[in-house]
Structure formats: C-alpha cells, structure tokens
Amino acid sequence: MFVIFFSGHMDNRCLSTATSKRLMTSSTASVVSRAPDCGKLLCCCLTSTTKHMEYWRSAADKVNTWTFLHKESQPLHPPPSQIGWLITIGAVQHVWRKVS
C-alpha cells in the first residue's frame, strides 16, 4: 500500500488506512507467528528477551489514538473493532505476565 501511496497513485486520505492496516497486520503477526526466520523482528516465540511487550505497549498507544470520522468529518465513538484491538493487546500482555 505504501508503494502505491508514495508513487502518487493513492489519495492522501488513504494514508491513515494504510498505516492502521500495517499496524493490525504487524500486531497479528506478533501474536501468532512462530518462525524465527520469517524476516520480521517479532516473528518468533515470545520470551523475556524479545521486543514483544514493548511493541504491544506502543501498538496499544497508537490504537488508542485512532479517531473514526462520520462522513461529515464528525468524530464517532470508538467502534467495537478499536476496543477489541485494545482488549486483545492487553489480554496477551496479561497472559504473558502471568506465565513468565
């Protein structure tokens, strides 16, 4: 998506969607990936030395700042998907703190 955006073939209004999509993809990969050779920093098992917890704190901060707008550019209440991402990130952190 970013290649298309920076090549000028995507409207500026799409950048926030591309950014949030990348965050959701990275967050999902950080929870479910197990292959250390996949080329991504968080595609490995969670341990006390990996950067997962730091990443999840940062991801939650970013998700918490999302603002969804009505078509007239009026802010909407956080949708269930945004709240769900925050709950999921918090739950994964909580489970790790309990088992580590």
15 in any annotated domain = no
16 in any annotated domain = no
Alpha-carbon gap, residue 1 to 64, rounded angstroms: 23
Q: Which domain holds residue 31?
A: 23-99
62 in any annotated domain = yes
1 in any annotated domain = no
Query: Tens digits of per-residue pLDDT, 40-91?
Result: 678 888 888 989 999 999 999 999 999 888 888 888 888 899 999 999 999 9
Name residues whose C-beta falls within 8 Å of residue 82's C-beta, 6 or more positions apart in sequence: 63, 66, 68
Amino acid at 40: K
3 in any annotated domain = no
Residue 63: per-residue pLDDT: 94
11 in any annotated domain = no
Tell me which residue of 85, 87, 89, 83 sits closest to 52, measured CA to CA. 89
5 in any annotated domain = no
84 in any annotated domain = yes
What is the 3-state composition of the chain as percent helix, strand, coil, each rounded to the nearest 5? 60, 0, 40
Q: pTM for the whole thing?
A: 0.76
Number of domains in the chain: 1
